[in-house]
Structure 1
Amino acid sequence: MNRLFCIFSLFLLHTSICQAQFDQYKGDYFLFQDAKTRKTIVIEHDSLYQIDSQDRLYRLKHTNYPEIISRYNTFKIKGKNYFAHNGCGPVLEWRNDSLVRIDNSFLHQNQYGAASFVYKNEFYYFGGYGLFTFKNLLTKYIFKSREWMAVQTFGDELPSLRRDANRILIGDYLYIFGGLVENPDNFYYGEGLSDSNVWKLDLKKMKWNKEGVFDSKYNSLDGYFNFQNGKKTYLLSRGANNKLLEIDIEANTIKKYILPSLINVKSFYFDEKSNDLVVLHLLSTTNQIKVIHIPLNTITKTPISSEAFIINPLKKLYTFLFIGCSLLLVSFVFLKTKVKTVISDYNSLIFDTTKNQLRYKRKNIGSIDDNELKIISFLVDNQTKFIALNTLNELFEQDELSENYTSTIKRRENTLNNLITKLSLITGYKENEILDYRKNPDDKRVKEIKLKENIIRIK
C-alpha cells in the first residue's frame, strides 16, 4: 500500500512539474510572416507553432527570453525576422524553427507603446511609457554591440511626451502624430493628446519640425493597429467599429473604409508582395483562432468618407501673408518703376523716330533744324558705341554742290557745336554731360564721340 502511494505521489509531482514548465510559457497567440519562406507562422502559448494554418503543430524551440512572445514587436531586415520586446531591451531572432535571443541587454520596461520602425536596416523606438513616465526619446538597436542606444535629436521644439503614437516612414522622413499622454485622473491608462501636431523628423539630420495640425477629431487613434503600405499608413480598428483608415501624408488625405466583416484581431501583419492583410481572428463563440487573408484592394475600393488630414491654419496664415507681402512688393516695385519712368520721361530728351522729332518735358523742341536732327538720329542709332567723328561728314556731303572736304568739316563742326549748345541751354546739362570724346585706341589721330548713356531716349 505504501509503495503504491509513493508511486502515485511521484506521478502527481511529475505532472505538476511538467504543468508548471508548460505554464511558464503559456502566453497568447502570436502571428508573423517568415521572412525567408513568406509562410504564415502562428505561435500558440509560447510552446507550439503552426505553419500556414496546417493541422500539424510543432514544438517551439527557443532560448530563454523575458515574458511572452506576444509582447514583442516584429521586424523584417535582410530576409530575417527579429523580435524586440515592446518595453525595449530583449531582442530575438527566428532561425528556421527556433527563437534565439541575440542581445546583451536587459528588460528595460521603459518604452511600452513606442512607435517602432525600420530605417537603414536598423529598428528604432520612439516615445513610449515606462518607469512611471511618458517619453519622447528615440532609441535604436545596434546589431554590432547587441545593445540599445539613445539617438540625440534636435529642433527648436520637440514632440511632447507620449505613447502609442502613430508613425509614417517615407524615405528619410518619419512622421509622428497622436498618442496618449499622462492623465492625472486615470494614471494607468493615460488620455489623448491635447494638441494635434504632425511632427516630421529628418532622419539624416535628426531634426524635428512641425509639419502641420491634423483634425482634432482624429486625436483618439490609439485604438488602432498601425501598418504601412508604400507611402500610405493604415490604421486597423482593434474594436467593434470595423473600420480601416488610410492616411496619405503627401496627398494630405484621410479616407475611411469598412471591413468586409467583423474581425476580432488578436495579431496581424501586412504582406507587401501579395498586398494582403493577414489577420489572426479570434472566434469569440468557440474561443478558437483563424488566419484570414484579406486583399487590401478589396477593402479600399470605395471609401465611406475622404477629407484633408492636415489642417494647418498657421501655414495658411503664413501663405496669405506671404502672398499679400509679395503683391505689395510687386505693386511697390511697379509703382516705383512707373513713377521713375514718368519722371525719367519728363526730365529726359525723347527722340520720336517715327516723327523725327526731339522733345523735352513732353514738349517738342522747335529750334532744332534738319541738319541737327540728322546728327541726333545718327548718334541715337549708334549710342552704344564710339564712332569716328569724321563719319558725320557723310551727313553733310552735298552731291549737287561741288563742296570741298574743308567746307564739309567746317559745316559739320558748326552744326555739332550749335546742337550741343542748344541741348545744354534747354536741359541745363553741361556740354561734357551730353557727349563723350576720346581718341581711337588703335589710331590716336582719329577722334571719336558717343552720346552719354540715357541722355536721349528713343520712343
Structure 2
Amino acid sequence: MQKTNHTNLLLLFVFFLSHTFYAQEPLKISQEYLLFKDAKTKEPVIIVNDTTGYRGFNFETRFKTKFPKPLQRSLFNDYQYQIDDVTYLVENGCGITLTFKNNTFTRIDNSFSHKNQYFAIPFVYDNKPYLFSGYGLFTKKNIITYYDFVTNEWLLKKTNNIESISPRVSSFFLKKGTNLYVMDYLSKRDHVLDEYVRRLDLNTFTWHKEKRINKDLPLLNILSYFQIRLQIDDKAVSFHDNIVEVDFFNNTVQTFDYSIFKNIKALKYFQRPELITYVYESNQNYYVISEPYTSLKGKLISETPLYVSEQYSILLYGFLIVVFAFTFCYGCYKLYVSYVTKRHQLLYNVNKDQFFINRKIPLQLSPLNKAVLKVFLMKKDKFFELQLLNDALSKDLKEDNYITINKRRERVLKDLKFELSNALKMPKESVFSRQRSQLDKRMKEIKINITFKQV
C-alpha cells in the first residue's frame, strides 16, 4: 500500500513538471530584445533593455546587466555560440564580438561591423566560432570565416576546393561530428540551382558532393531569407508559414502545420530539457515563452523523400510523360480556381478610409497593412514591381534600409495573406500571385487575386 502511494506521488510530480511549461504565461517584451542560451546554466536569457534581463525557462529570475553602448541588442540575435562556460554573440553580418558570462557582457574583438555575412551558417569547430556563406555588399558568399582568439579578429579560412560550392544564403544546415551538411533548393523565382547536398569535412576543410536532391520537394518556392533555420537534434528545421524538418540521414522532408500559428521572430532549442524558447509577435506586441517543441508542432501535412536515386532517372522521365497526359485536366482546374478567386471582393469606403468585407463588417488592419493594401487597390488586378510597395513601408523610417524594408515587406505580405484568407474564406496560397518581369528578369512582380469596389 505504501509503495502504491509513493508511485502515485511520483506520477503526480512528473505530471506537474510536464505541464509547468504549458501553463506559463508569455512574458511581454519590447521589440528591441536579445534572446540567447547561457552556456554555463544551459537556460534561456532574454535582454529587454540595456540594463534588464530575465533568465530561466519561465523567465522567473530578473537581473541587472549592462549592454555595451552604442551597440544595438537586436543585431546579436542570429550568431551565437556556447563554448565551455562562455556565450559568444556576434553581430549580424559578422565583426563585433561579445561574451556573456556571470550576467556580464564584454566586447572582446579588435574588429568592426563587417556587414558581409548576413543569413550565414554559424557553427563551432575546435572551440572556435565559424561562419559559412552569407550575403553582403550586394553579393552572395561561399566563404568561411572564423574568430581568432590570438588576434581577436575574424579571419578567412582557406578551403581546398571552395569553387565546388556555389555562393548561398540562409541554407538548411546540420553539424554532426566533424561534418557540416548544407542544402539549398532549386528556386523557380531566383533560378538558383544546386542539385546536391554538400558536406564540409572539418578535419580537412574540403567540400564533398553528397546525394542528389529530390526536385519535387514541396518547399522549393519558399523565400529563404525570412525563415528561421536551425538544427534540432539530427534534423535541419525551418520555421515560416509551416515547420519543415529535413532528415539528411533518413531521407525525409516532413512539413508540419502549427498547432496554433505563431508569428515567430526568434527561436532557441534546448536538448535537455527538450524545450524551445521563442519570441513571437501578436497584435503588434512581442512575447517570449518556453514550451515543448512537440506542442508547437501540429499535424503532418506532407512527407517527401529528400533524395532521388540516379538509377531511377529513366523511370522518373517516364512518370513525367504520364503526368503530361493529365495536363489538360490540370489546366481546366487552374481555370476554375482563377474563376473562383475573381469572385472574392473587398469594399473600400473612401470617406471612412476603411476596407470592408461587406457593407457592415470592417476589416481590422494595422496602419502598415492598410497602406500596402491601398497600393494593391490602386493597381487593381495587374502585376506590378514588388519594390513599389517600399514607399508605403518606409514612411515612418528615418532612413532607408534595404534589409529592414525587405523584412517589413515580407512580414506585412504574410500578415495580409492570413488576414485576407480568413476574411474572404479563400486559400492563403491564392491571395497573391508572383512572377518575374517580362522586361527585366531580375525584377519581381506581384498582384492580388481579389477585386475591389469603392463605395
Q: Which residue of 2 aligns with 1:35?
A: 39
Q: Which residue of 1 aligns with 2:291?
A: 294
CA drift at 1:46: 4.0
What is the one-letter code of the residue matched to 1:44?
Answer: V
Provide Cα deviations, 1:74-104, integer angstroms capped at 9, x if missing partner.
Answer: 1111122110112111110112222211112
**Rg larger in structure:** 1
CA drift at 1:125: 0.7
Written as runs of structure 1 = structure 2, the 5 A alignment for 1:92-131 is 92-131=98-137
CA distance in 1, matches of 2:97, 2:281: 27
Q: Which residue of 2 aligns with 1:277?
A: 276
CA distance in 1, matches of 2:197, 2:59: 43
1:317 and 1:173, CA in 2 relative to 1: closer, same or farther beyond 3 A? farther
Q: Secondary structure at the match of 1:49?
A: strand
Match of 2:236 among 233, 237, 240: 233
What is the one-letter code of the residue matched to 2:161?
Answer: G
CA distance in 2, matches of 1:274, 1:149: 35
TM-score (norm 2): 0.55
CA distance in 2, matches of 1:296, 1:308: 23
1:156 and 1:236, CA in 2 relative to 1: closer, same or farther beyond 3 A? closer
1:65 and 1:177, CA in 2 relative to 1: closer, same or farther beyond 3 A? farther
Provide Cα deviations, 1:318-339, integer angstroms capped at 9, x if missing partner.
Answer: 9xxxxxxxxxxxxxxxxxxxxx
CA distance in 1, matches of 2:129, 2:192: 25
Unaligned runs of 5+ in 1: 1-25, 184-189, 319-459
Q: Would the aligned equivalents of 2:40 and 2:86 in 1 still touch at CA under 8 Å?
A: yes
Written as runs of structure 1 = structure 2, the 5 A alignment for 1:109-188 is 109-155=115-161, 157-178=163-184
Count of residues paired in the alignment:
281
Q: Would the aligned equivalents of 2:172 and 2:230 in 1 still touch at CA under 8 Å?
A: no
Provide Cα deviations, 1:150-193, integer angstroms capped at 9, x if missing partner.
Answer: 11112385211122222111111111122799x9xxxxxx9462
Provide Cα deviations, 1:405-455, integer angstroms capped at 9, x if missing partner.
Answer: xxxxxxxxxxxxxxxxxxxxxxxxxxxxxxxxxxxxxxxxxxxxxxxxxxx
Unaligned runs of 5+ in 2: 1-29, 315-455
Provide Cα deviations, 1:344-400, integer angstroms capped at 9, x if missing partner.
Answer: xxxxxxxxxxxxxxxxxxxxxxxxxxxxxxxxxxxxxxxxxxxxxxxxxxxxxxxxx
Which structure has more relative contact order (CA 8 Å, sep 6+)? It is 2
1:294 and 1:257, CA in 2 relative to 1: closer, same or farther beyond 3 A? farther
CA distance in 2, matches of 1:156, 1:38: 35
Written as runs of structure 1 = structure 2, the 5 A alignment for 1:328-347 is none
CA distance in 1, matches of 2:138, 2:297: 40
CA distance in 2, matches of 1:142, 1:102: 11
CA distance in 2, matches of 1:81, 1:48: 18
Q: Secondary structure at the match of 1:270?
A: strand
CA distance in 1, matches of 2:131, 2:275: 26
What is the one-letter code of the residue matched to 1:283?
Answer: S
Q: Would the aligned equivalents of 1:179 and 1:193 in 2 still touch at CA under 8 Å?
A: yes
CA distance in 1, matches of 2:62, 2:292: 27
Match of 2:73 among 68, 71, 76: 68
Q: Which moved more, 1:98-107 or 1:216-225?
A: 216-225
CA drift at 1:257: 1.6
Task: Please say if 1:91 is aligned against 2:97.
Answer: yes
Percent identical? 28
Task: Please say if 1:211 is aligned against 2:214.
Answer: no
Q: Would the aligned equivalents of 2:186 and 2:195 in 1 still touch at CA under 8 Å?
A: no
Task: Please say if 1:251 is aligned against 2:250.
Answer: yes
CA distance in 2, matches of 1:179, 1:305: 17
CA drift at 1:47: 4.4
**Displacement over 6 Å in runs of 4+:** none
Written as runs of structure 1 = structure 2, the 5 A alignment for 1:254-269 is 254-269=253-268
TM-score (norm 1): 0.55
CA drift at 1:59: 4.4
CA distance in 2, matches of 1:75, 1:178: 23
